[in-house]
Amino acid sequence: MPILHLTTLIHAPVERVFDLARCIDLHETSMTTHGETAVGGVTSGLIMLGQTVTWRAKHFGIWQRLTEQITIYDPPHHFRDTMVAGAFKRFDHDHYFQRQGTQTRMIDVFDYTSPLGLLGFIADALVLKRYMERLLAARNQVIKAVADSSQWQTFLPE
């Protein structure tokens, strides 16, 4: 079961980055290449502890649905989304935020298990791990670009 670690340094306050990372609308914006949309649960705004969101997206040419629940919520330092239904056997995605002066260090820890046993293990080694790393890195770059500019005001309530 792979565990992915990504770190992104963002020139914005930790509270802003925390909120952007849990913003459904920004998530959709960051995943337009996969046609990802929220179709159930919280479908816009900021997701909170105990709430769920169901995503519909196209990955590897197949339309899929994935439901996540926010299972840990410690603003503005940490939240976790846990898969409750979807293509993975399981996953926990921890989002950590550390203030560093006027900047924020955003750390993603994505801990997952692929389905299909040995076949899933082979898929991880060949494509899935790298695919997920790129997907998360691309999403983080969108969060960074929005947080570092005035665009954040489009996504966050006053």
Is the whole-model pTM more than 0.85?
Answer: yes
At 127, give phi and psi (nearest 5°). -140, -40
Paired with 94 in beta bridges are 80, 109
Residue 134, exposed/middle/buried by CB under 10 A (0-12, 13-18, 19+)?
A: exposed
**Residue 10: both structure tokens together:** 């963002």
Q: Is residue 84 part of a domain?
A: yes
Q: What was the pLDDT predicted at 39?
A: 98
> What is the residue range of 22's domain?
3-152
Is residue 158 situated within a structural domain? Answer: no
Assess if residue 157 is contained within a domain.
Answer: no
Give the whole-angstrom CA distance, residue 154 versus residue 95: 22
The DSSP secondary-structure symbol of 87 reads S
pLDDT in tens, the chain (158 residues): 789 999 999 999 999 999 999 999 999 999 999 999 999 999 999 999 999 999 999 988 999 999 999 999 999 999 999 999 998 899 999 999 999 998 999 999 999 988 877 776 676 777 888 999 999 999 999 999 999 999 999 999 86
Which domain CATH number covers 63? 3.30.530.20
Answer yes or no: is 30 within a domain: yes
Any domain includes 23: yes
What's the domain count of the chain?
1
Question: Domain for residue 134, yes or no?
Answer: yes
